[in-house]
């Protein structure tokens, strides 16, 4: 199956799932418009590679490595089947699938924690063990101004750690436009200051982005150190589900709706011979799978006192 077609399936699953999450949870941070940036970043990795996706749209990256849809839906609905048993933010995921969980709601600290997973891999390599895993971490353009962005990338560059930093630049930090927090032209250009490669690319073209990411992954796998990639995209919705985003102009949103990554991918697939019916079926299946999962999970019990875990703060 061609890569774009597989990605199209994941992108549609992401859109359908995130729409359902936003309907069920007014504090969900919807992915709409950024599906290509997310799928293009995390597609084509090995299951043993460690991923640390941004809080906007992480579910599809977990599903791409085999996490159970129903258990993620359980986290959104506060049900007993959620991986985190109601304790972490709903968009966290199971560590057993080699990911960095969301245990904090600040921005940037997870960049350093992801860098530590790369440190663990590098430490094994330095001791002579065969270990060619890599870490891929994504974050927003707002987070790129946190001190952890600078500290983590500089540390990874000095120690040549096997990690790829991907900035999912959707041009808005909640209600603030990019020019209110970044004076320079591109976030990727900061890479030069750390002595590592930096590439800015179209985040609404999942194949082009994926080529750039996988080149950086190969570099990291072969011991050449970290890279910084900027995926330029746009948040078509508000910051959270109920945010009507009255702070930006309808003209700007309309321009980016013309560049909806799902519509662009669909057009390209049609040009390469995929039928309307085949592509409609992908869309229909994604929506139906998500609806079925929500229907099943709504019938499960809510998390209760047993999940409070008063004696489970410390590991033993």
Q: Which stretch binds other proteins (CB under 8 A): 25-33, 61-69, 89-97, 170-178?
A: 89-97
Options 3, 9, 85, 274; binder of other proteins; rule CB under 8 A: 85
Q: Burial code of 238-254, b = ≥16 C-beta within 10 A, e = fewer?
A: bbebebebeeeeeeeee
**Strand ranges (E), 67-181:** 135-140, 163-169, 172-173, 176-177
Q: Interface residues for other proteins in 186-245 (CB under 8 A)?
A: none
Q: Interface residues for other proteins in 36-55 (CB under 8 A)?
A: 50
Q: Which stretch binds other proteins (CB under 8 A): 3-11, 16-24, 177-185, 304-312?
A: 304-312
Whole-angstrom distance, CA of residue 72 vs CA of residue 217: 27
The tokens describing 251, both together, are 């003209």
Options 22, 51, 90, 118; binder of other proteins; rule CB under 8 A: 118
Q: Which stretch binds other proteins (CB under 8 A): 34-42, 66-74, 83-91, 235-243?
A: 83-91
Q: Does 143 bind other proteins (CB under 8 A)?
A: no
Whole-angstrom distance, CA of residue 44 vs CA of residue 50: 13
Whole-angstrom distance, CA of residue 270 vs CA of residue 36: 17
Q: Which stretch binds other proteins (CB under 8 A): 8-16, 109-117, 246-254, 279-287?
A: 109-117
The nearest distance, CB 109 to other proteins, in angstroms, is 5
- Of 84 and 201, the one with the shorter C-beta distance to other proteins is 84
Q: Interface residues for other proteins in 147-176 (CB under 8 A)?
A: 147-148, 150-152, 154-155, 158-159
CA 61 to chain centre: 6
- Of 40 and 108, the one with the shorter C-beta distance to other proteins is 108
Options 66, 127, 272, 299; binder of other proteins; rule CB under 8 A: 127
Options 123, 267, 281, 292; binder of other proteins; rule CB under 8 A: 123
DSSP 302: B
For residue 232, list its beta bridge partners. Answer: 169, 202
Q: Does 76 bind other proteins (CB under 8 A)?
A: no
Nearest Cα to 286, choosing from 91, 24, 19?
Answer: 19
Maximum CA pair distance of the chain? 59
Q: Does 24 bind other proteins (CB under 8 A)?
A: no
Contacts of 262 (CB under 8 A, 6+ apart): 8, 11, 12, 15, 35, 36
Looking up tokens 């991907």, which residue turns up?
166
Contact call for residues 219 and 227 (beta carbons, < 8 A)? yes
In the complex, which residues of this chain contact other proteins (CB under 8 A)? 50, 83-85, 87-88, 92, 94-96, 100-101, 103-106, 108-121, 123-124, 126-127, 147-148, 150-152, 154-155, 158-159, 307, 309, 312-316
């Amino acid at each position: 199956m061609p890569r774009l077609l597989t990605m199209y399936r994941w992108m549609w699953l992401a859109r359908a799932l995130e729409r359902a999450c936003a309907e069920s949870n007014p504090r969900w941070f919807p992915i709409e418009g950024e599906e290509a940036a997310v799928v293009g970043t995390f597609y084509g990795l090995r299951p043993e590679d460690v991923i640390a996706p941004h809080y906007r749209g992480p579910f599809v990256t977990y599903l791409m490595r085999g996490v159970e849809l129903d258990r993620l839906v359980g986290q959104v609905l506060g049900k007993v089947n959620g991986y985190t048993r109601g304790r972490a933010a709903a968009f966290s995921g199971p560590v057993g699938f080699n990911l960095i969980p969301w245990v904090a709601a600040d921005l940037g600290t997870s960049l350093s924690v992801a860098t530590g997973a790369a440190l663990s891999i590098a430490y094994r390599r330095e001791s002579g063990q065969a270990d060619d895993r890599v870490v891929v971490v994504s974050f927003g353009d707002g987070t790129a101004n946190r001190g952890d962005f600078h500290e983590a990338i500089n540390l990874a560059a000095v120690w040549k750690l096997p990690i790829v930093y991907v900035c999912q630049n959707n041009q808005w930090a909640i209600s603030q436009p990019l020019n209110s927090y970044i004076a320079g032209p591109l976030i990727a250009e900061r890479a030069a200051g750390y002595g590592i490669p930096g590439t800015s690319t179209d985040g609404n073209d999942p194949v082009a982005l994926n080529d750039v990411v996988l080149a950086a992954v190969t570099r990291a796998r072969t011991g050449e150190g970290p890279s910084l990639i900027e995926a330029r995209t746009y948040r078509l919705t508000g910051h959270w589900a109920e945010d009507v985003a009255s702070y930006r102009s309808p003209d700007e949103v309309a321009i980016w709706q013309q560049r909806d990554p799902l519509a662009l991918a669909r057009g390209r697939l049609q040009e390469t011979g995929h039928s309307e019916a085949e592509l409609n079926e992908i869309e229909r299946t994604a929506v139906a799978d998500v609806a079925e999962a929500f229907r099943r999970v709504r019938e499960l019990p809510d998390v209760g006192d047993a999940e409070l875990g008063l004696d489970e703060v410390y590991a033993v």
